[in-house]
Structures are given as structure tokens and as C-alpha cells.
Amino acid sequence: MADGQKHEQQSSDRARYEFKRRLEELRNIRGSATQLISLYIPPGRQIHEVVAQLRSEYSQAQNIKSKSTMKNVTGALESAMQTLKQFKDPGDHGIVIFVGHRAIGGEKTKMTTHVIIPPTPITLMKYHCDSSFFLEPLEAMLKEHNNYGLIVLDRQEATIGFLRGQAIQVVTNMQSMVPNKHSKGGQSARRFERITEDIADKWFYKIGEVATEVFKPELEKGELKGIIVGGPGPTKEYWLENQYMDHELHKRIIGQPVDTGYTDEYGLRDLVTNAGPLLRDFGLMEEKDLINRFMREVGKQDGGLAAYGEAQVRNALQIGAVDTLILSEKLRKARLTMKCESCGWTKEETTDLDPLEFEKRYPPCPSCSQNAVAIDQEIDIVEELSQIAESMASKVKIISGNSDEGELFWKAFGGIAAILRFKTG
């Protein structure tokens, strides 16, 4: 892969992660009443038309019975119109605005405004007012797009499933009634063979039928990237040549059939592993390879070129010892800078608490005993460590949480690790 491409992939990895985190944040916001506004503006819309619609919503909102809700809704609408003034047009992907008074405990509310430029174009124009934000169209964008159909088969057994993102999903496993071939000669043997081939043909036909049933709806939704076929013997080639599946699906078969050791769930795993060259572009193999490389280093007697845990990795990053920083997308931690307004004392800390909860631990200041300690800066730890890595020209890889390797990485290493350029001590 060229360096430019690699960089692009790295930043799209991070962009996707950031988008996901923002949606998570919005998902947690609640209004004390129907007062949170979601506004979807697709490409091609005139901003002034949208503003006119908001003005009409504004005059309707003045009829809301509850005084506080009325004030909150009209306030949100004003803010939405103000925000829209920054845009000449909705751009190629459209604009989504989330605005409103969020409940922050007790009777209190706080005005919040979020503008999101979606990663892929939105198609709907929508004004939505509710006690939570309307996020479904954006959440749908996060669904993994690499969705492959998987089939492993021989004369005895077949398994059909999907590779969705990094996860293998078994849909069905079938056993055949095809007798094993035998080698005796003679008249009856030939008749037996004809009968056997007849049963085998029905079996292949059935695999094709079931595969069509499973894959066709995904193809019609435009959500099937391709189909990979495998199995232990020559049956898979025979099955493909004779086109037992729907012909539209046949056009989606990727590359040559793949050899596997099994035809059950393990066969599907084999298939994905052995189809490596076919899938490499989509990041799966890269992720597996990286975790395996890291595990090999960790397994070395002297600890190899590996670091894990936040403290060790942070130290290695700061001295420029990290070749590749590996982070799990499951990480939910913030790096906070606490500061005392009174004496200037500061301290950086990492927490998995809500920062506002964390802040309560602080007063008084450990240095001057004044009650003036507050959060001065707050940054997501994935973001913070990635920034240090980039300043040291270290690579960054964010690992998904739903592959076997990603799961292992999260459970055994807390989701923070690095492959090193040199040993640190």
C-alpha cells in the first residue's frame, strides 16, 4: 500500500471512530419535555427555505401550553436559525443540526447545539421535535458496509453465513444424504453411482436454493459486497461451474473458490482466513495481522517489541519509541487536566468516570487547599494518544471490538498497546 493510501485509511479509521462517539454522546441527551430539535437538510436544499420552515415552526411553538417548554422550543429554534446562517448551502453530504435544552438534573437544563456533516450523503429532509434526538439515519451509516456472503460445502455438509464487518455470522448448516462414493465395479455399482449422482445433484441444487434465499434480499437492498465460496475438495468448483445459485448472485462471487479444512462453522472461519488476499483491502486481515504481530512480540521471553497498558504506552509514545499505536474502539476514557484557579496547580489524569463526577473528587486543591480546582481541559483518550502518536510519526490503528482478535485485545490488554521501534528498558 502506498503511504498516501495508508494515511487516508488511518484518518478515515479515526473519523469513523469520532463520528461514532458523537452519536453516542447525542444518544445520551434527554430533554425534560418535547423540546429537542433534530433537523436534517439534504444536499440541494436552499438554506433560506429551511429557515422559512423554522420560522413557521417558531410561530406554532408559541402556542405550546407549558411556559417553560415553549421558551425552550423557541430558544432552540432561534439557535438553529442562527447556526444555519453560517452555511451558504448544505454541501455534498447535507447538514444535520441537533439543538435544544438538555436536562442536567433537578429542574435544570442546558442549551446544546451540535452540527454534524455526515460521512455519506443524507437523502431526507426532516424537522423533528421530541424528548430525544432523532439519530436513526446517522446510526444506519455506521453499520459495517463490508458484508460478504460465505458458503463452504462438500458432498456431505454445507454452511452458509455472512462476514459482517469483522464478525462471522452463521445462518444455516445443512447435512446431505449423499452416500459416500465406493469403488466396486459392475452393473449394480454403475446403477448405484447414477442414483448417487442424482441425490448429489439434488443436494447441490438445495444449497443453491438456500444460498439464494439467504443472499438475495441483501443483494436487493444493495448491501451485499460479494460472495466467497470454499470447501475441502473439488466439489466447490463443480458446484460453481454448474451454477446452482441465482445467476445475479453468481456475478457477485469474488475470485476463485477457497480451500478450507471444514464445512461447518470452523469452515467459515477457515474461509475468511484463507480468503485473506481477497479481503485484505477491507481491513480485516490488517487487523488480524497486527494483533498477531503484537502477540508474538508479547510472547517473546524478553517482552519483545511490545508495550501495553496506558502508563507504559504513554511513556513509549512520548520518547518516540512507538512504531504502531493500537487502540480498541471500545475505550471510553477521558484525559483531564485539572487546574486550581487560585494557585495555578495542575495535574493530568485519565478517568473512565463522567468528567463532572470526576471533578467532584477534587476540591480542595492539594496544593493550596482552596476550593478552586476545576477541569481545565478534557479530551477523549483515543484522540489524545493519537495526537501524541502523530506528532512522533507513529502509526495509529483502531481495532474493532467485534472480532475474536479485537475481543482478546480488549480483555487481555485493556485496549491500549503498541508495537515498538526499539526497546524502552
Footprint of Zn ion on this chain (CB under 5 A)? 340, 342-343, 345, 365, 367-368
Q: Among residues 46 and 371, whose Cβ is nearest to Zn ion?
A: 371
Minimal distance in Å, beta carbon 335 to Zn ion? 21
Q: Among residues 290 and 365, whose Cβ is nearest to Zn ion?
A: 365
Minimal distance in Å, beta carbon 360 to Zn ion? 17
Q: Among residues 368 and 412, whose Cβ is nearest to Zn ion?
A: 368
Q: Among residues 98 and 358, whose Cβ is nearest to Zn ion?
A: 358
What string of H, E and C letters represents the secondary structure of the chain?
Answer: CCHHHHHHHHHHHHHHHHHHHHHHHHHCCCCCCCCEEEEEECCCCCHHHHHHHHHHHHHHHCCCCCHHHHHHHHHHHHHHHHHHCCCCCCCCCCEEEEEEEEECCCCCEEEEEEEECCCCCCCCCEEEEECCCCCHHHHHHHCCCCEEEEEEECCCEEEEEEEECCEEEEEEEEECCCCCCCCCCCHHHHHHHHHHHHHHHHHHHHHHHHHHHHHHHHHHCCCCCEEEEEECCCHHHHHHHCCCCCHHHHCCECCCCEECCCCCHHHHHHHHHHCHHHHHHHCHHHHHHHHHHHHHHHHCCCCCCEEECHHHHHHHHHCCCEEEEEEECCCCCEEEEEEECCCCCEEEEEECCCHHHHHCCCCCCCCCCCCCEEEEEEEEHHHHHHHHHHHCCCEEEEECCCCHHHHHHHHHHCCEEEEECCCCC
Minimal distance in Å, beta carbon 344 to Zn ion? 7
Minimal distance in Å, beta carbon 356 to Zn ion? 20
Minimal distance in Å, beta carbon 393 to Zn ion? 37
Q: Among residues 262 and 362, whose Cβ is nearest to Zn ion?
A: 362
Q: Among residues 60 and 371, whose Cβ is nearest to Zn ion?
A: 371
Minimal distance in Å, beta carbon 342 to Zn ion? 5
